[in-house]
């Protein structure tokens, strides 16, 4: 501690005690003020919420006694008056009603926090205040309100208090800065300038001595004036000495500049392979500073991958039997823990009986050559067709996959414009889009049907890249084309398996899969969806009167009309014959389902004109609402919708019959479906 105090400057010794005492008083006051303020704000928040809860609780007694959940829910909406309340739950042994503020994210308390809130009445979490307020409505009653309140406003008050404290702290810094500034101007600065001038003379680290400024007429001013007079005499003597030394140093400076500009590492070693001289480039080439390289063994410094072999070659050089002429070795750089490839040239220094080694780091060049070979192998072995062309569209390179995929040999397309390979009518449709993406993102990707040499077309996934050289700013365009025939065939087969071949609507299998997925999603979304079972009225008469060809045309028109009556999120499919299924997802209002059903009936009742025949048709619809938690399967759902449809036919056709009502609150049933 004493050593640290002795190392302080004069200004620091004078200012630190004063600033330290003021800082201690300031911090103590701010800590006490902050804690008192937060404690008071927390108590006010708890008191305000409890008063509001007790007022609401008095209105809840009747709803609790009569188990009136709707009235309880309406009364709980009174908590909207307090914007910071996130959630309120009314419990009388079970959850009777709940109020949720959607504008505030609710953070659920842990079980331990819930217990503390119930025991103590309130618990402050990191982001939420949890309160348990009892409601007295009968003898030995245990009804209570669990309230979760957001602490965001309290946190804002804390931030405001901290900002106020920061402002006072900045004011403190300004005052301390002014005090320190005056001490420096009156005492510290004159003494520091005099000390700096004396040190410059003692160490002789500048060509011109520092001259203290005389700003006062006191003892310090007189001391500075005397020192300046002494310094003038010393400067005259130094000028004579420096002029002589300058002449001797110019030759050395010239030699050092020549060595410093050399980008290769230059090492001078003796016959024992010990380094006696090195330049600054050693750090860039070998990763070792110049001073660290001197007196090291040459082999140890290089860390060659084959040290014994290199020692044999080096011994021949040191015995003047051979020289290194662009000798390439691989070494391990201990500083960066990487491998480097070095090119070594050696020459003897006969007068000094030593040897000069020039070492060049060719790691990047060696790696670049390796990467070029690798890129060429990737280019040649790629299964995708690759075309490289100039910015103007002249083809420069193609790989073997291009020849196999498109059918043209490389000598037939290189040097030609890419327009000679494409159908210009189809290319014009995407040309502006491609140019726009290349100008903004240097990339375009899309599907294109390319004309092959044999006249056939092939679907391709094209990825067009614009590559710009960062130095020359010259651009090239690389096109990577992937064959999509296999993918297209799989998509076609998959569609045939899941869609009706006549109407192109989802078939029975696709409908089963879709409804099964919705049942699985209900476990998490708790949403309701509706299944409409649609059967055409009078379709058998059309088949008997006009034949099955006309009947098939009618089914296509029916499929097209129903597809235009539903939302994008819904699905319509053909079950069999003249039976269709429409699945309406995320149903929250029965009126929307009724409107959709009526719209389907109106569309199907519109006359159809086929081969100069006017055909009138109708339909009957059975609706079944699928609620979450009823443990149903697809067959149960379709059977109930079918039953409702037959009821519509039995009561006069052209109607919509609903099997079960739509409820807004769906209780979880435990019984299996009938």
Please report the pLDDT score of residue 670 as a whole number. Answer: 31
φ and ψ at residue 211, rounded to 5 degrees: -110, 115
For β-strands 395-398 and 608-610, DSSP reports them as unpaired
- Highest-pLDDT range among 110-119, 406-415, 525-534: 525-534
Please report the pLDDT score of residue 528 as a whole number. Answer: 92
Question: Residue 464 pLDDT > 60, yes or no?
Answer: yes
Q: Between 15 and 151, where is the model more confident? A: 151
Question: Residue 164 pLDDT > 80, yes or no?
Answer: yes
pLDDT tier for residue 338 given thresholds of 50, 70 and 90: confident
Please report the pLDDT score of residue 645 as a whole number. Answer: 93
Please report the pLDDT score of residue 7 as a whole number. Answer: 66
Question: Residue 305 pLDDT > 60, yes or no?
Answer: yes
Look at 59-63, 262-266, 272-276, 611-615 and tell me which has the smallest mean pLDDT.
262-266
Q: What is the DSSP letter of 352?
A: T
For β-strands 618-626 and 656-658, DSSP reports them as parallel
Cα–Cα distance, 182 to 188 (Å, whole number): 9
Report the sign of the C-alpha dihedral through residues 296, 299, 304, 306, in that order: negative
Mean pLDDT calculated for residue range 642-668: 81
Report the sign of the C-alpha dihedral through residues 106, 110, 115, 116, in that order: negative
Please report the pLDDT score of residue 674 as a whole number. Answer: 37
Please report the pLDDT score of residue 646 as a whole number. Answer: 93
Please report the pLDDT score of residue 667 as a whole number. Answer: 40
pLDDT in tens, 181-190: 777 776 777 7
Q: What is the DSSP letter of 186?
A: I
Question: Residue 665 pLDDT > 50, yes or no?
Answer: no
Look at 135-144, 295-304, 640-649 and tell me which has the smallest mean pLDDT.
135-144
Please report the pLDDT score of residue 260 as a whole number. Answer: 62
Please report the pLDDT score of residue 614 as a whole number. Answer: 87
Average pLDDT score over the chain: 80
Mean pLDDT calculated for residue range 47-57: 83
Cα–Cα distance, 39 to 358 (Å, whole number): 75
CB 72 within 8 A of CB 60: yes
CB 641 within 8 A of CB 533: yes
Look at 168-182, 245-259, 416-430, 469-483 and tell me which has the smallest mean pLDDT.
245-259
Question: Residue 545 pLDDT > 60, yes or no?
Answer: yes
With pLDDT > 90 as the criterion, what percentage of the chain qualifies?
11
Look at 351-360, 429-438, 481-490 and tell me which has the smallest mean pLDDT.
481-490
Question: Residue 103 pLDDT > 60, yes or no?
Answer: yes
CB 193 within 8 A of CB 210: yes
Question: Residue 537 pLDDT > 70, yes or no?
Answer: yes
Nearest to 394 by CA among 408, 413, 376, 422: 413
Please report the pLDDT score of residue 643 as a whole number. Answer: 94
pLDDT tier for residue 626 given thresholds of 50, 70 and 90: very high
Mean pLDDT calculated for residue range 523-530: 89
Look at 320-329, 369-378, 584-593 and tell me which has the smallest mean pLDDT.
369-378
pLDDT tier for residue 531 given thresholds of 50, 70 and 90: very high
Please report the pLDDT score of residue 173 as a whole number. Answer: 82
Q: Residues 94, 96, 99, CA angle at the centre, nearest 5°?
A: 125
Please report the pLDDT score of residue 668 as a whole number. Answer: 34
* Beta-carbon contacts of residue 654 (< 8 Å; ≥ 6 apart): 537, 601, 605, 618, 619, 620, 648
Please report the pLDDT score of residue 599 as a whole number. Answer: 92
Distance of CA 100 to the CA centre of its chain: 32
Mean pLDDT calculated for residue range 374-393: 77
Please report the pLDDT score of residue 210 as a whole number. Answer: 66
Look at 220-234, 416-430, 591-605 and tell me which has the smallest mean pLDDT.
220-234
Q: Residues 172, 178, 182, CA angle at the centre, nearest 5°?
A: 150
Look at 269-278, 425-434, 612-621 and tell me which has the smallest mean pLDDT.
425-434
Please report the pLDDT score of residue 474 as a whole number. Answer: 80
Question: Residue 427 pLDDT > 60, yes or no?
Answer: yes
Mean pLDDT calculated for residue range 603-630: 89
Q: Between 336 and 438, where is the model more confident? A: 438
Question: Residue 144 pLDDT > 80, yes or no?
Answer: yes
CB 649 within 8 A of CB 642: no
Q: What is the pTM of this model?
A: 0.38
Question: Residue 1 pLDDT > 60, yes or no?
Answer: no
């Amino acid at each position: 501690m004493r050593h640290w105090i002795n190392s302080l400057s004069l200004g620091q010794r004078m200012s630190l005690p004063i600033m330290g005492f003021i800082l201690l008083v300031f911090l103590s006051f701010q800590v006490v003020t902050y804690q008192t303020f937060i404690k008071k704000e927390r108590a006010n928040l708890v008191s305000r919420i409890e008063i509001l809860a007790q007022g609401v609780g008095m209105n809840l007694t009747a709803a609790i006694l009569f188990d009136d959940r709707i009235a309880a829910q309406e009364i709980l909406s009174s908590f909207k008056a307090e914007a910071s309340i996130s959630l309120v739950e009314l419990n009388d042994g079970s959850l009777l009603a709940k109020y949720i503020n959607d504008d505030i994210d609710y953070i659920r308390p842990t079980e331990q926090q819930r217990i503390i809130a119930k025991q103590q009445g309130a618990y402050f979490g990191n982001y939420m205040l949890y309160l348990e307020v009892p409601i007295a409505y009968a003898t030995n009653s245990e009804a209570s309100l669990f309230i979760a309140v957001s602490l965001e406003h309290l946190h804002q008050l804390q931030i405001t208090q901290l900002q106020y404290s920061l402002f006072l702290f900045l004011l403190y810094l300004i005052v301390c800065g002014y005090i320190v500034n005056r001490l420096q101007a009156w005492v510290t600065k004159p003494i520091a300038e005099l000390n700096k001038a004396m040190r410059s003379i003692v160490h002789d680290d500048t060509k011109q001595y520092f001259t203290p400024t005389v700003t006062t007429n006191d003892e310090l001013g007189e001391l500075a004036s005397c020192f300046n007079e002494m310094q003038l005499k010393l400067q005259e003597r130094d000028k004579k000495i420096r002029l002589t030394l300058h002449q001797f140093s110019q030759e050395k400076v010239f030699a050092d500049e020549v060595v410093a500009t050399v980008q290769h590492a230059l090492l001078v070693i003796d016959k024992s392979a010990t380094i006696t001289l090195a330049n600054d480039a050693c750090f860039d080439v070998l990763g070792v500073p110049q001073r660290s390289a001197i007196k090291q063994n040459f082999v140890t410094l290089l860390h060659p991958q084959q040290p014994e072999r290199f020692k044999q070659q080096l011994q021949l050089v040191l015995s003047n039997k051979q020289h290194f002429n662009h000798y390439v070795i691989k070494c391990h750089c201990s500083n960066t823990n990487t491998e480097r490839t070095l090119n070594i040239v050696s020459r003897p220094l006969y007068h000094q009986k030593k040897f000069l080694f020039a070492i060049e780091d060719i790691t990047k060049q060696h790696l670049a050559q390796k990467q070029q070979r690798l890129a060429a192998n990737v280019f040649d072995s790629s299964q995708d067709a690759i075309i490289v062309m100039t910015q103007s569209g002249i083809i420069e390179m193609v790989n073997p996959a291009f020849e196999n995929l498109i059918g043209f040999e490389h000598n037939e397309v290189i040097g030609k414009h890419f327009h000679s390979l494409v159908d210009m009518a189809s290319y014009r449709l995407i040309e502006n889009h491609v140019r726009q993406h290349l100008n903004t993102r240097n990339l375009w990707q899309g599907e294109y049907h390319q004309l092959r040499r044999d006249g056939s077309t092939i679907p391709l996934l094209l990825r067009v890249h614009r590559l710009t050289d960062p130095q020359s700013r010259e651009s090239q365009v690389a096109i990577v084309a992937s064959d999509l025939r296999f993918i297209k065939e799989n998509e076609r087969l998959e569609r045939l398996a899941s869609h009706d071949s006549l109407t192109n609507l989802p078939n029975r299998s696709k409908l089963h899969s879709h409804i099964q997925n919705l049942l699985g999603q209900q476990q998490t979304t708790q949403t309701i969806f509706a299944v409409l079972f649609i059967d055409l009225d009078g379709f058998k008469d059309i088949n008997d009167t006009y034949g099955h060809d006309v009947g098939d045309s009618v089914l296509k028109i029916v499929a097209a009309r129903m597809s235009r009556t539903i939302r994008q999120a819904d699905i319509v499919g053909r079950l069999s014959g003249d039976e269709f299924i429409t699945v309406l997802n995320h149903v929250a209002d029965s009126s929307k389902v009724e409107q959709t059903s009526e719209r389907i009936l109106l569309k199907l009742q519109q006359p159809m004109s086929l081969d100069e025949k006017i055909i009138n048709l109708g339909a009957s619809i059975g609706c079944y609402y699928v609620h979450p938690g009823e443990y149903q399967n697809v067959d149960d759902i379709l059977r109930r919708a079918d039953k409702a449809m037959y009821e519509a036919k039995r009561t006069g056709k052209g109607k919509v019959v609903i099997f079960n009502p739509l409820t807004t609150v769906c209780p979880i049933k435990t019984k299996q479906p009938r």
